[in-house]
Amino acid sequence: MSMHTLLQYKWSMMTPEFIVLITALILSLADLWMPNDKNRRPLAWIAVVGVVIALIATAGLIPAKPVSILYDTFRIDSFSKAFKLLVLAGGALCLLLALDYRPKEGLSHRGEFYYLLLCALLGAMIMASSGDLITLFVGLELLSVSSYILAGIRKTSAQSNESALKYVISGGIATAITLFGMSYIFGLTGTTNLKEMAFEVQKLADSNYQYLLALAFLLLLVGLSFKISSVPFHMWAPDVYQGAPTPVTAFLSVVSKTAGFVILLRLFITIFAAAPAHGKDPSSLLLSMQNYIAVLAGLTMIIGNTVALRQRSMKRLFAYSSIAHAGYLLVGFAAMSWVMIDSIWFYLLAYVLMNVGAFAIIQRLSDEADSDDMIHFAGLYQRNPLLAVSMGIFLLSLAGIPGTAGFIGKLNIFLGALMTEPGHYMLAAVMIATTVVSYVYYFGVFVQIFFRPADEAASVKLPVGLTVTVVLCAFGTLLFGIFPSLAYQVLAQFEHFGDFLQ
Amino acid sequence: MMEIAWIVPLFPLFSFFFLLAVGKKMKETSAYVGILMTLLSFLLSLAVLFDRLGGSTYKAEHVWLTIGSVKLTAGFAVTALNAWMLVVVSLVSFLVHIYSKGYMHGDERFSVFYAYLGLFTFAMLGLVLSPNLLQTYVFWELVGLGSFLLIGFYFYKEEAKAAAKKAFIMTRIGDVGFFIGMILLFWQVGSFAYDDIFRAAEDGTLSQTMVTLTAILIFIGAVGKSGQFPLHTWLPDAMEGPTPVSALIHAATMVAAGVYLVAALFPLYEASETAMLTVAVVGGFTALFAATIGLVQTDIKRVLAYSTVSQLGYMMLALGSGSYVAGIFHLTTHAFFKALLFLAAGSVIHAVHTQDIEKMGGLWRKMPLTGPLFLIGTLAISGVPLFSGFFSKDEILVAAWTHGHVALFWIAVVTAFFTAFYMFRLFFLVFGGEKRHDEKDVHEAPAVMTLPMIVLAVLAVAAGYVHTPWFGTFLGDWLTDGAYAHETAPGWIMAVATAVSLLGIFLAWLMYGKRSLARDWLSSRVPYTYSLLWNKYYIDELYMRTVGYAATAISLLLSYIDRFVVEGIARLIAATVHTSASLGSRMQNGQVQMYGAVTFVGLALLVVILAFTGGYL
């Protein structure tokens, strides 16, 4: 590659990535040169500002035409822009959580904590934009490796260490399965470029090749189910979520999951939608394998929601709840209606808001007590009514009660499942039934907050970072619940992601 | 001003939330919050009305929800009808808010009462502003909720509890019709917006049968809300609520919502002869039916309640006869004089602590303000010339006659006679004759209660002059945008109306005022008719014996099914959930090998299925 071609690329399209990268570099250098006894919390503000600027830059790129640079390995289409907005928003909110993270024993590696979060975020952004298996995998690993370290950043906490180790091992297995699946596709098509792959798989008329491709489909589905914590690769989530520092838990459940869905949609729609098949629906392999996704979605919803019933630890409860939400999102995918990406995007938006908001409050209460047992929520209403009401809003939204963003998100996915021909009635029924089950555990927390007496009388004070997070999240949850059209206006600019395959 | 009409309902909503939050501490000062907020609503409504008088219809809509290709909108509209209703509703609500300060004085749940009033007023104003059926339906249910809460305000009284429940269930039966009609319209038209529906009815997108069917279904909702036969039985029972509530909700505003709904959907009804005829017949029949019951009742509020049912029947008759203007005109005058009558009745009840008119009497001198005010209301409802009821009732009679409903016309005339009779029977029994109550210290109500009554009395006279054959049909011209059909009514109609009303008053005077005619000269001769009327045609008993028993039998059967089948299934499901929960958490043993194993087993299973199904599911 000559200097000339290198300069010809529209590097400006990568502005958001550069901003996050530079912020991460600044933070690491600052951390290096700062005296050891200096407080590193202000660094978090730099990180937040960097991410917010990147968010604005991404929003500025929305009107731009889809572009593909670096030999089609890096794409900026409406899909990548839309989901980058989500991961950046989620990342900024998680950084605000990290700003006010105060574990009992203190945090000796605060500098690393912040710039590793940025690195992980960068990985998620690269995943959203990659047009090649190699860049995609690099992004995935950047996200994963950073997350492994983040999970264990509390070096002296046994729980945190256990969490990190389990995460590394599970992640290793997932990576192996994913790569195995990718190798099949590479073998069948002879290329790593997604666009060329889509072109090549169309020619696979031999049913044996199609069989191999179906095998690759399952391998990728299982491998990627790690990132989105869905069945059969969901069991790591409760242990890792519980042991990891709360901002990292929030990050894993929101940003990492979003990135997981990004890569899932990108790979499956580009490659498998183009492949011919000879099964139920011969027009495309993706459609004929639809039922596998549907079954896994159903199992994910059932397992997530039922096992959550038995949890006393808030972080474990939210781990199962996050598994359940992955199930709802998979319903949106399995239905494959024409509003699929729109409904998943909206749901993830709602999920970012309500979940990070809830984690902010969990963080505050569990840091104080050095335990995340549900009992510490008892009587929150007496200790801080506004905080209790905010948590109430997040819980109602997570449960999908009308008036909140969670409801609109669920409604979209639900209607999407019924909209297709034939409709996915079973899946919709399972979704409704498990949602009802979820009321039990969400309202269990509700009861603690509003109807149980408090152990301590001391009112709960919220530090500034968490306050900003809670206010933003509660506001957004209600705003998009009452005026969903605001989010649709944003979505409308992406025109149903028509440039996905261009 | 019209652009900000949407703020009108927000004032009482604020009052609701505010009083809910801090009302307990404010105690009786909460009244000021409620009064101030409804005053603001009223002033803004007035401004909107004046704006609309000179301008044209204003409409604002935004997409609220997009599902696939269907866009649901939300917004508000200021048409002539809406602007007019806004003023009527906010004014009566404002006056009732003031009155309640005196009436509810000393009540333990004083602030709650005001909070509920705020909720109701918000819902009613929201209903009036709705530009589409869906929004109307939402507020329709909300006013129902407000009504339910306020009827059952004295929830420690068994009767109040039962009445609240009854009101909720009976109106709900109507709502089912409304809901089905609404969904049918949406299915056929693809939109909830009134304009779209009218366009579809006009250009034939809606078939004639569909127009008739949906119009009648929606009318069933109106029948429930407006207490029309056969769903009227809840309204008299609703008198268990505090009297200001009866005045506001069960006389002036909410019960008129049914009439308003038919008026708002008038172009749809006009497109179907059958639907119009149904509305007219149900209205005419209810008017006479309720008036006959009113002849013999002895509870002051129940007499007024039956007269409300009867007057609402008049309005329906007007709408069914094609006279939109007459219906709305009577709705307006009725709102004022009936609210006046209820508030005056409340003042009487407040003074003698009974509702039985047999135990009243001789109050004319004791209550120097309430007496004349009640008389004004009575004269207005009886249709005595120069009072508002005279003009609006005349308009309805003319409409029925010119539209060719001869039978309905005569029914309306007879009803007018009955109305005059039972209202003056009420008046003479309460205010005339000798004292029959045990209350020693009867005194006039405080100014905070009499003032709103005076305002209403002025309106009960003056409201008639906005639309008269003598001075000009301002309301009609404005409501119809100048297209008001000036029908040359035969002059004798007015003469007949005046004659029957005076005749009714005269007969009442003979029997209850002068007492030259024995009270039982008629009832003793037709004892069966009397007991039939006294028992309100046994409608409640009929419902109990048929629907009630059938429902009990079905519910018994269902309860067995519930106990053994449903509960069994429920227990099974609960057990399954529990087992899967404990199974799931037992698998979660904290060992990462287990997690990896589960993944591999899962993957293996999927691959095996793939292999066995020959590649594809």
| A124 part of a folded domain | no
| B94 part of a folded domain | yes
Q: What distance in Å separates the CA atoms of residue B478 and residue B456, rounded to the nearest whole number?
A: 23
B interface test, pick of A207, A217, A235, A337 with most B CB neighbours within 10 Å: A235
Nearest to B598 among A232, A289, A412 (CB): A232
| B204 part of a folded domain | no
B interface test, pick of A209, A303, A485, A495 with most B CB neighbours within 10 Å: A485
Q: What is the percent of chain A where pLDDT is above 70?
A: 98
Neighbours of A195 (CB within 10 A): 17
Q: What distance in Å separates the CA atoms of residue B334 and residue B389, rounded to the nearest whole number?
A: 7
| Residue carrying the six token digits 């250098």 | A29
Question: Is A288 part of the contact surface with chain B (CB cutoff 8 Å)?
Answer: yes
Nearest chain B Cα distance for residue A316, angstroms: 11
Asked if residue B556 and residue B491 are part of one domain, the reply reads no
Q: How confident is the model at residue B526 (pLDDT cuts 50, 70, 90)?
A: low
pLDDT, average across residues A53-74:
86
If you average pLDDT over every residue of chain B, what do you get? 82
Neighbours of A63 (CB within 10 A): 8
The DSSP symbol for A461 reads: P
pLDDT at res. B485:
65
To 10 degrees, what angle do helices A340-369 and A464-482 make?
150
pLDDT, average across residues A42-63:
91
Q: What distance in Å separates the CA atoms of residue B605 and residue A29, rounded to the nearest whole number?
A: 49
pLDDT at res. B132:
86
B284 contacts B405 by C-beta, under 8 angstroms? yes
Q: What are phi and psi of A193, to 5 degrees?
A: -80, 130
Question: Is A279 part of the contact surface with chain B (CB cutoff 8 Å)?
Answer: yes
pLDDT, average across residues B14-40:
82
Nearest chain A Cα distance for residue B572, angstroms: 14
Q: Which residue has the higher pLDDT, B582 or A476?
A: A476
* A360-382 pLDDT, tens digit each: 999 998 888 888 888 888 888 88
Asked if residue B512 and residue B584 are part of one domain, the reply reads no
Q: What are phi and psi of B278, to 5 degrees?
A: -60, -45
| B150 part of a folded domain | no
Q: Do A485 and B63 touch (CB under 8 A)?
A: yes
Structural domains in chain B (count): 3
Cis amide linkage into residue A232, ω under 30° from 0? yes
Is A455 a residue whose pLDDT tops 80? Answer: no
A residues 49..108 contacting B (CB < 8 A): none
The DSSP symbol for B463 reads: G
Is B406 a residue whose pLDDT tops 50? Answer: yes
Question: Is A235 part of the contact surface with chain B (CB cutoff 8 Å)?
Answer: yes
Asked if residue B583 and residue B449 are part of one domain, the reply reads no
Nearest to B599 among A207, A232, A292 (CB): A232
Q: How confident is the model at residue B387 (pLDDT cuts 50, 70, 90)?
A: confident
The range of the structural domain enclosing residue B99 comes to 1-131
The secondary structure element, H or E, covering residue B270 is helix B266-270
Size of interface A-B (CB pairs under 8 A): 105
| HEC letters along A183-237 | HHHHHHHCCCEHHHHHHHHCCCCCHHHHHHHHHHHHHHHHHHCCCCCCCCCCCHH
Q: Do A210 and B606 touch (CB under 8 A)?
A: no
Structure token pair of residue B379: 């004269």
Alpha-carbon distances of B438 from B155, B353, B441, rounded to whole Å: 27, 10, 9
B118 contacts B63 by C-beta, under 8 angstroms? no
A residues 154..213 contacting B (CB < 8 A): 165-166, 169-170, 173-174, 177, 207, 210-211
| B169 part of a folded domain | no
Alpha-carbon distances of A60 from A13, A82, A298, A502, rounded to whole Å: 10, 12, 38, 21
Q: What is the percent of chain B where pLDDT is above 70?
A: 93
The range of the structural domain enclosing residue A320 comes to 289-502
Structure token pair of residue B105: 């004085």
B301 contacts B239 by C-beta, under 8 angstroms? yes
Q: Do B598 and A415 touch (CB under 8 A)?
A: no
Of B517, B551, B576, the last residue of a domain is: B517
A residues 120..159 contacting B (CB < 8 A): none
Asked if residue B578 and residue B489 are part of one domain, the reply reads no
| A55 part of a folded domain | no
Q: What distance in Å separates the CA atoms of residue A195 and residue B136, rounded to the nearest whole number?
A: 51
B151 contacts B241 by C-beta, under 8 angstroms? yes
Neighbours of B88 (CB within 10 A): 25
| A415 part of a folded domain | yes
Nearest chain B Cα distance for residue A307, angstroms: 4
Nearest chain A Cα distance for residue B587, angstroms: 9
Q: What distance in Å separates the CA atoms of residue B211 and residue B270, rounded to the nearest whole number?
A: 10
pLDDT at res. A502:
66
pLDDT at res. B265:
87
B interface test, pick of A307, A407, A426, A441 with most B CB neighbours within 10 Å: A307
Of B87, B111, B131, the last residue of a domain is: B131
* A229-282 pLDDT, tens digit each: 998 898 899 999 998 999 999 999 999 999 999 999 999 998 888 888 766 666
Neighbours of A409 (CB within 10 A): 30
Residues of chain A with Cβ-Cβ distance to B584 below 8 Å are 303, 306-307
Asked if residue B509 and residue B383 are part of one domain, the reply reads yes
Is A219 a residue whose pLDDT tops 70? Answer: yes
Q: Which of B224-228, B449-453, B490-494 has the lowest mean pLDDT?
A: B490-494
The secondary structure element, H or E, covering residue B78 is strand B70-78
| B174 part of a folded domain | no
Is B520 a residue whose pLDDT tops 70? Answer: no
| B320 part of a folded domain | no
Q: Do A235 and B601 touch (CB under 8 A)?
A: no
| A426 part of a folded domain | yes
Question: Is A411 part of the contact surface with chain B (CB cutoff 8 Å)?
Answer: yes
Structural domains in chain A (count): 1
Of B131, B166, B190, the last residue of a domain is: B131
B220 contacts B177 by C-beta, under 8 angstroms? yes
Q: What distance in Å separates the CA atoms of residue B464 and residue B461, rounded to the nearest whole number?
A: 6
* A106-129 pLDDT, tens digit each: 778 888 889 999 999 999 999 999
Nearest chain B Cα distance for residue A2, angstroms: 45
Asked if residue B403 and residue B365 are part of one domain, the reply reads yes
Nearest chain A Cα distance for residue B67, angstroms: 7
pLDDT at res. A373:
87
pLDDT, average across residues A479-488:
88
B588 CB contacts (<8 Å, ≥6 apart)?
A235, A238, A239, A307
Question: Is A425 part of the contact surface with chain B (CB cutoff 8 Å)?
Answer: no
Residue B225, SS3 per DSSP? helix
Q: Which of B355-364, B423-432, B518-527 has the lowest mean pLDDT?
A: B518-527
* B238-249 pLDDT, tens digit each: 888 888 888 888
A373 contacts A260 by C-beta, under 8 angstroms? no
Burial letters for A126-137: b for 16+ Cβ neighbours within 10 Å, e otherwise?
bbbbbbbbebbb
* A309-362 pLDDT, tens digit each: 888 889 999 999 999 999 999 999 998 888 889 899 999 999 999 999 999 999
pLDDT, average across residues B291-313:
86
Nearest chain A Cα distance for residue B583, angstroms: 8
pLDDT at res. B551:
72
pLDDT, average across residues A162-187:
93
The DSSP symbol for B63 reads: E
Asked if residue B486 and residue B353 are part of one domain, the reply reads yes
Neighbours of B157 (CB within 10 A): 12
| B28 part of a folded domain | yes
Alpha-carbon distances of B161 from B151, B241, B496, rounded to whole Å: 8, 10, 44
| Residue carrying the six token digits 């309005």 | B315
What is the largest distance, in Å, between two alpha-carbon atoms of chain A? Answer: 72
B87 contacts B80 by C-beta, under 8 angstroms? no
Residues of chain A with Cβ-Cβ distance to B66 below 8 Å are 484-485, 488
A interface test, pick of B576, B578, B616, B617 with most A CB neighbours within 10 Å: B616
Residues of chain B with Cβ-Cβ distance to A289 below 8 Å are 616-617
pLDDT at res. B617:
47
Q: Do A309 and B67 touch (CB under 8 A)?
A: no
Alpha-carbon distances of B283 from A262, B21, B60, rounded to whole Å: 62, 43, 34
Is B616 a residue whose pLDDT tops 60? Answer: no
The DSSP symbol for A378 reads: T
Q: Across A77-209, where does the E strand assignment appear?
A: none
Is B426 a residue whose pLDDT tops 80? Answer: yes
For chain B, how big is the Rg over CA atoms in Å? 28
A92 contacts A52 by C-beta, under 8 angstroms? yes
pLDDT at res. A347:
94
Question: In this structure, which amino acid lies at residue B351?
Answer: A
pLDDT, average across residues A10-34:
90
pLDDT, average across residues B218-224:
89
Question: In this structure, which amino acid lies at residue B400?
Answer: A
pLDDT at res. B518:
66
Asked if residue B435 and residue B566 are part of one domain, the reply reads no
Q: What distance in Å separates the CA atoms of residue B458 and residue A365, rounded to the nearest whole number?
A: 63
Question: Is A41 part of the contact surface with chain B (CB cutoff 8 Å)?
Answer: no
pLDDT, average across residues B271-283:
87
Is B54 a residue whose pLDDT tops 80? Answer: no
| B299 part of a folded domain | no
pLDDT at res. A265:
92
